[in-house]
Amino acid sequence: MSGTDKTKASIELAGPIIILAEPQLGENIGMAARAMGNFGLMRMRLVKPRDGWPNIAAQRAAAGADHILSRVELFDTVEAAVADCSLLFATTARAHDQAKPVLGPAQAAQEIVAEVAKQGTTAILFGRERAGLLNEEVALADRIITFPVNPAFASLNLAQAVLLMGYEWFKLATGGGLPFGMPERSERASQHQMQAFFDNLVTELDRVEFLRPPEKREVMLVNLRNIFNRMEPSKQDIHTLHGVVMAIAEGRKGPAKGGVLDGTQATKLRALLAEQGAPEGSSKGSSVRGLARLLRRNPTDAERILWQALTKDRRFAAQFKRQTPVGRHIPDFVSFPRRIAIEIVHNDESDAVRRERDTRAAWLRERGYRVHALAASDIETDLEVALDRLAADLF
């Protein structure tokens, strides 16, 4: 079944025994066992099941609760089935006019937990599908359990009744902890990241003349910014939104008009992505590859200049790749045959960007790569000197 995971340890607690008095259908026994399995109840006793035991219909309906059916205890009478119980509850939808405490499921669960804590043996007795429990069977019980249901339609299916009691007991016995929660989100995006995304979005909206008429432009921008601020996006959210904007801008058949950032915007994009940090783990390999494609389509001015030089200069031609993943990192340029990485250092980098580059460099060096840093300003102002220094350092 969809919620069954045999790789996880089953929870088995010292809970109440479930006693079914003369159950008529094997299917109901199997579904009751399934309900028990949902809430860690392991002990089932049957009193004279009509269709005998073992029962193939019960096994089919148990849907994986065979471990409960394999431990079933058989009895000829209800008296024998409850003989060792120190606290017995009888479930019924009808008033039997007996002077016994009448409890709801939650109250009964509290008493069961308390009795188990004192090493007592507790049991819950369920009646026949058609007629329920007899008066003399209810008389054996210490307490009566009835469910808060529609009085005009109070009859519950046998497995439903077992399920309700199992739920109330298990919730109390385990503290009501849920088996899973919402996946942990990445930390909230910084104002710097929000601004970089918004600048990118506005650039693309201007290219398609969305922000019209001019006199309403500022109001439209305020409204757009408030939309994203109300979302309280995480770093990963902003990363995804960047990709959405770029994909729309580029169109289905490759980069369209306006689909590539200019040098200044590309530098902001790299800063944004560096502050978010590199994806970790092999499960995010597709994210790394997608990020590399995004960066290749949007080079900074310094990267564009250096790449053109590396492809034309005989000292470097055909040796380097641009924005290519190495594990979970993406250096600006990498030569796999020579195990060399080139990193471009841009002006006015934030501390987060520097930390990310240092982390990437350390990771590459541990794997035998030499890492060479070039200032973007040197590339843009005196490319030949930068190339000579690079060649002297690398070769």
pLDDT grade, residue 2 (50/70/90)? very low
Judged against a pLDDT cut of 60, whether residue 234 lies above it is answered with yes
* pLDDT for residue 185 is more than 90: no
Choose the weakest-confidence range: 9-13, 199-203, 224-228, 324-328: 9-13
Predicted confidence band at 1 (pLDDT cuts at 50, 70, 90)?
A: very low
Task: Inform me whether the pLDDT recorded for 255 exceeds 50.
Answer: no
What average pLDDT does range 359-365 have in this prediction?
90
Greater pLDDT, 94 or 280: 94
Beta bridge partners of 73: 45
Question: Reading across the β-sheet that carries 333-335, which strands appear in turn?
Answer: 321-322, 333-335, 340-345, 370-375
The answer to whether the Cα torsion of 136, 140, 143, 144 is positive or negative is negative
- Enumerate residues 6+ apart whose C-beta is below 8 A from 245: 197, 200, 201, 204
The architecture of the domain spanning 299-395 is: 3-Layer(aba) Sandwich (3.40)
How do the domains of the chain map onto residue ranges? 17-174, 299-395
pLDDT average, residue stretch 8-21: 81
What percent of the chain is modeled with pLDDT above 90?
A: 35
pLDDT band at residue 300 using 50, 70 and 90 as cut-offs: confident
Between 103 and 319, residue with greater pLDDT: 103
Asked if pLDDT for residue 258 goes beyond 60, the answer is no
| Phi, psi (rounded to 5 degrees) for 255 | -55, 120
How many residues are present in the chain? 395
Q: Return the residue matching tokens 């350390």.
A: 362
pLDDT average, residue stretch 54-73: 90
Residue 51 neighbours by CB distance under 10 Å: 14
pLDDT digits (tens, 9 = 90+) for 370-379: 999 888 888 8
CATH code for 17-174?
Answer: 3.40.1280.10
Highest mean pLDDT among 113-117, 285-289, 306-310, 346-350 belongs to 113-117
Which segment of 9-23, 135-149, 184-198, 280-294 scores lowest on mean pLDDT? 280-294
- Sign, CA dihedral 245-251-254-256, equals negative
| Mean of pLDDT values over 360-374 | 90
Q: How far is CA 226 from CA 198, 221, 305, in A?
A: 11, 9, 38
- What average pLDDT is seen over the chain? 83
Q: What are the tokens at 234?
A: 């995480």
Parallel, antiparallel or unpaired: strands 340-345 and 370-375: parallel
pLDDT digits (tens, 9 = 90+) for 151-167: 878 788 899 999 999 99
Strands 122-126 and 17-21: parallel
Residue with tokens 């890492």: 371
Does pLDDT of 350 surpass 50? Answer: yes
pLDDT class for 251, splitting at 50, 70, 90?
A: low
Q: Is residue 7 over pLDDT 80? A: no
Who has greater pLDDT, 311 or 32?
32
Using CB atoms within 10 A of its CB, is residue 253 exposed (0-12), middle (13-18) or buried (19+)? exposed
User: What average pLDDT does the segment 173-192 reach?
Assistant: 76
Beta bridge partners of 128: 132
